[in-house]
Amino acid sequence: MESRMSSAAAAAPLTWQAFKSDYKPIWCPGCGDYSVLNSATKAFATLGLRPENVAVVSGIGCSSRIPAYTSCYGFHGVHGRALAAGTGLKIARPDLTVLVAGGDGDGYSIGGNHFLHACRRNVDLTYVVMDNHVYGMTKGQPSPTTEPDWDSKLSPGGTGLRTFHPLVIALAAGANFIARAFSGNPNESAQILAEAIRTPGFSFVEILSPCVTFRPEQRDWKNLVRPAPVAATDDPARAARRIMTDDGFNIGVLYKGGRKPYQPPSGKATKHLAELEAEFTI
């Protein structure tokens, strides 16, 4: 009886606020990441998850501070390796919901190799990149998504480098779910995140999240974003065309495939430990 009551209590849906911690974010006033935090917690609540069954995994950067601001289990690791840590966690603990989060420098520059391989490995987790086209924590250096002519102390006159196109690369590398969201529309972002989490396999959500401190011109993003004109496709060729040709401000789910998530052979133990020594015994 008692256990039935406690399981009934455990099943009671939680508000999104219940997924937030009481720890005050270090983010600047006006930072888009506040809104991403709200969207993520709303997505968890919508899906009826419990904080103890969710792990939020990150690397280093402003946005990578997000795990501690949730009431979930958090992992704040080293720069660029969040996807690796999240992958290990999900493979070892398939029962958990794993959300990996970070910024454009963390994910596309130092963590670029893991991004490629997480897309192709297709482990069932969701990767959120809060993209503000700048390194904020180190006070304003160009990231892979920064425009080539953006002037900074580290790259006077701009880097002169092509910008990295994360969605195209995710598609080419095999990500199973690809979406773009905007932090200024938290409810819509929450819906996109919920769908990303619900979809089996590796889901990649790029959230345009302005850095009002080092990229104040990004305040204008709210005037540039628009819903993607067509619904998500499961055809990679069509998705590639769309993602290649859009201007980076189409919002919504852009690609949703049907690849089976990766899980290495494991599960039921078929051998007793004592049996293992037979292969060595003379």
> Least Å distance between CB 1 and another protein?
20
* Cβ atoms within 10 Å of 246's Cβ, excluding its own: 15
Which lies closer to another protein via its Cβ, residue 97 or residue 191? 97
As a whole number of Å, the end-to-end CA separation of the chain is 56
Site string for another protein, 257-276 (x = CB under 8 A): ------xxxxxxxxx-x--x
> Least Å distance between CB 254 and another protein?
25
8 binds another protein (CB under 8 A): no
Interatomic CA distance for residues 100 and 75, integer angstroms: 9
One of 35, 38, 39, 71 touching another protein (CB under 8 A): 71
- Encode burial over 175-212: b for 16+ CB neighbours within 10 A, e otherwise: bbbbbbbbbbbbebbbbbbbbbbebebbbbbbbbbbbb
Q: Give the residue carrying structure tokens 């972002």.
A: 189
> Least Å distance between CB 70 and another protein?
8
Q: Scanning residues 12 to 51, which ones bind another protein (CB under 8 A)?
A: 23, 50-51
Which lies closer to another protein via its Cβ, residue 25 or residue 158? 25
81 binds another protein (CB under 8 A): yes
Interatomic CA distance for residues 55 and 48, integer angstroms: 15
> Least Å distance between CB 219 and another protein?
28
57 binds another protein (CB under 8 A): yes
> Least Å distance between CB 74 and another protein?
3
Which lies closer to another protein via its Cβ, residue 57 or residue 243? 57
One of 47, 91, 168, 172 touching another protein (CB under 8 A): 91
Contact 80, 60 (CB under 8 A): yes
Which lies closer to another protein via its Cβ, residue 4 or residue 268? 268
Pairing mode, strands 177-182 and 97-103: unpaired
78 binds another protein (CB under 8 A): yes
For residue 3, give every residue at least 6 positions away whose Cβ sits within 8 Å of its Cβ, in sequence order, or none. Answer: none
Interatomic CA distance for residues 105 and 179, integer angstroms: 19
Tell me which long-range contacts 216-220 makes (C-beta under 8 A, separation of at least 24).
218/132, 218/133, 219/30
165 binds another protein (CB under 8 A): no
User: Strands, E, within 81-131: which ranges?
Assistant: 97-103, 126-131
Reduced to 3 states, what is the DSSP secondary structure of residue 248? Answer: coil
One of 28, 46, 73, 232 touching another protein (CB under 8 A): 73
> Least Å distance between CB 280 and another protein?
4
Binding interface with another protein (CB under 8 A): 10, 23, 50-53, 55, 57, 65, 67-68, 71-78, 80-81, 84-89, 91-93, 95-96, 113-114, 116-117, 263-271, 273, 276-277, 280-282
